[in-house]
């Protein structure tokens, strides 16, 4: 069974008397350890879809299953603990905590969700810092790092809890093209190493080619096409 299964998922926002049909009945299935991109112009529904998969928002109708759990109907508290156990997030503007060091930023999710002894926690953080190549920045603060380095930290933070699913909403939007491409390649390497599924969104055609499976979103509807890498 797929790690993410969407069956006729609809999302309608109500703004006063006006209804916005952000997602208009989409169905798809994403296998474990895949590397997937949702691509589409601004307003096509990428964030809406990723937020629903990430259990930050609920579908208006349809069924959405993640890691075997029907998340369409989880309440607020169950959603939060489901996210903590299963999902890591990477954001466009990195969202690192400015008063914590790089090492502490990566450690933070472990303090929130898992009752690990200090030594195990530290070892896990060191492993992730090394995996993404920022060991030398461990004691620095976010403002001392470049954008690309900050996104490496965010990738380490997303993976530190062994999340099955990593969601990245336009993770490269604030990076120059070369750095953006390296960040996507790093995400793919992390997928190979840790077996986590990565789903990222972008409106950049050059970046989307690095995905193995590409879904194109247009005005809330979905088309699937194969990515550049898997069939070269």
Residues that bind ligand ADP (CB under 6 A): 13, 15, 20, 22, 40, 42-48
- Least distance from C-beta 62 to ligand ADP, angstroms? 16
C-alpha 129/C-alpha 105 separation (Å) is 11
Which residue carries 């390296």 as its tokens? 182
C-alpha 176/C-alpha 178 separation (Å) is 6
C-alpha 198/C-alpha 32 separation (Å) is 9
Contact (CB, 8 A) for 156 and 189: no
- Least distance from C-beta 47 to ligand ADP, angstroms? 3
- φ, ψ of residue 28 in degrees (nearest 5): -165, 165
Kindly tell me which of 48 and 105 has the beta carbon lying closer to ligand ADP. 48
- Least distance from C-beta 34 to ligand ADP, angstroms? 21
Kindly tell me which of 42 and 77 has the beta carbon lying closer to ligand ADP. 42
Helix (H, G, I), strand (E, B) or coil at 13: strand
Kindly tell me which of 106 and 184 has the beta carbon lying closer to ligand ADP. 184
- Least distance from C-beta 129 to ligand ADP, angstroms? 30
Kindly tell me which of 57 and 85 has the beta carbon lying closer to ligand ADP. 57
Residue 228: contacted member of ligand ADP, Mg ion, none (CB under 5 to 8 Å, by partner type): none
Binding to Mg ion by residue 47, rule CB under 5 A?
yes
Beta strands in 102-212 (DSSP E): 165-169, 197-202
Which residue carries 């096509």 as its tokens? 44
Contact partners, residue 158, CB within 8 Å, separation at least 6: 88, 89, 90, 166, 168
Kindly tell me which of 47 and 86 has the beta carbon lying closer to ligand ADP. 47
- Least distance from C-beta 149 to ligand ADP, angstroms? 25
Binding to Mg ion by residue 37, rule CB under 5 A?
no
C-alpha 208/C-alpha 215 separation (Å) is 10
Query: Which residues ranging from 166 to 205 are in contact with Mg ion (CB under 5 A)?
Result: none
Binding to Mg ion by residue 44, rule CB under 5 A?
no
Q: Which residues bind Mg ion (CB under 5 A)?
A: 46-47
């Amino acid at each position: 069974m797929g790690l993410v299964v969407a069956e006729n998922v609809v999302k309608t926002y109500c703004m006063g008397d006006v209804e916005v049909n952000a997602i208009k009945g989409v169905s798809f299935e994403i296998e474990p350890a895949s590397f997937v991109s949702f691509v589409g112009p601004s307003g096509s529904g990428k964030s809406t879809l990723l937020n629903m998969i990430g259990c930050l928002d609920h579908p208006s109708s349809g069924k959405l299953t993640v890691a075997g759990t029907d998340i369409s109907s989880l309440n607020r508290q169950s959603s939060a603990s489901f996210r903590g156990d299963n999902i890591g997030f990477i954001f466009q503007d990195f969202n690192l905590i400015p008063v914590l060091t790089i090492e502490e930023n990566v450690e933070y999710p472990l303090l929130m969700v898992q009752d690990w002894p200090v030594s195990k926690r530290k070892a896990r953080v060191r492993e992730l810092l090394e995996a993404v190549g920022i060991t030398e920045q461990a004691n620095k603060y976010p403002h001392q790092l470049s954008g690309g380095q900050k996104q490496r930290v965010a990738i380490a933070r997303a993976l530190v809890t062994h999340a099955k699913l990593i969601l990245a909403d336009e993770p490269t939007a604030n990076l120059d093209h070369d750095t953006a491409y390296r960040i996507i390649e790093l995400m793919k390497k992390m997928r190979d190493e840790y077996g986590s599924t990565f789903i990222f969104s972008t409106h950049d055609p050059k970046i989307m080619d690095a995905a193995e499976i590409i879904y194109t979103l247009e005005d809330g509807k979905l088309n699937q096409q194969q990515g550049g890498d898997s069939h070269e």
